[in-house]
Amino acid sequence: MRLLATVTIALGVITMTFAQSSKQIVKTGPDLGLPFSPGVKAGGLIYVAGHVATDAQGQVIKGDQIGHELGFPTANLDTANLILPPNGVYAARTKFRNKVYRVALNIGLRPTVTQAKPQIRVEAHLLDFSGKLYGEELEVEIGEKLREELKFASSTELREQIGRDVELVRGLA
């Protein structure tokens, strides 16, 4: 059984909605005594009954345009106050303007990109999407982890791996 969890944080209250497929199983908060430990910074985790709650929501902000240059434009989510799963590349999905998109998602420090002060980034490549997302609120439901974040010797190697990641996401149910 694959358990998906959506996490909403409002006014200091953490609400978790668990679903198997699209059927809601339970909706709870911290007052019901489930064993969980909220992460308090980027890279933190929420564990509930042995499952990792995986959801990221934020405003799309302008990035460095590296994904666009590589042929895989990304929606960069503002990571302020986000609770995130461990760094890595994930299969994900999002709904934008009533359409569901598969997403190749990178969470991490982008080790191939030279940066003076590396910061956690959440970069979502929406498969088969064309358009601008700047300023929009985007909620990404994070699914299967595909691989660890890696440092590549060149942008060509990075582009080829992203292509493989996208094809893997496209092939997932």
* Boundary-marking domain end, from 37, 52, 67: 52
* Boundary-marking domain end, from 52, 69, 91: 52
pTM summary value = 0.71
Asked if residue 21 and residue 86 are part of one domain, the reply reads no
Q: Which residues contact 142 (CB under 8 A, 6 or more apart)?
A: 54, 55, 56, 85, 90, 92, 105
Number of domains in the chain: 2
pLDDT of residue 82: 75
Q: How confident is the model at residue 160 (pLDDT cuts 50, 70, 90)?
A: very high
pLDDT of residue 31: 32
| pLDDT tens profile 69-119 | 999 999 999 988 777 888 999 999 999 999 999 999 999 999 998 888 888
Asked if residue 157 and residue 88 are part of one domain, the reply reads yes
CATH assignment at residue 115: 2.40.30.30
Asked if residue 103 and residue 86 are part of one domain, the reply reads yes
Measured over the CA atoms of residue 72, residue 78, residue 91 and residue 43, the dihedral's sign is positive
Host domain of residue 76: 55-171
Alpha carbons 137 and 120: distance in angstroms, whole number? 19
